Amino acid sequence: MSDIDAGVARGKAEYVMRIGMLLDNGDLSKTEAAQKLGLSEEELDEMLQGRLDDLTVTKILDHLDLLKGETQRL
Write out pLDDT tens, residues 48-74.
898 877 777 788 788 778 777 765 544
Rounded to whole angstroms, how far apart are CA atoms 60 and 49? Answer: 13
pTM, two decimal places: 0.67
Q: Which fold has domain 3-72?
A: 434 Repressor (Amino-terminal Domain) (1.10.260)
User: 47: burial class by Cβ within 10 Å (0-12, 13-18, 19+)?
Assistant: buried
The pLDDT score that the predictor gives to residue 71 is 55
The pLDDT score that the predictor gives to residue 70 is 60
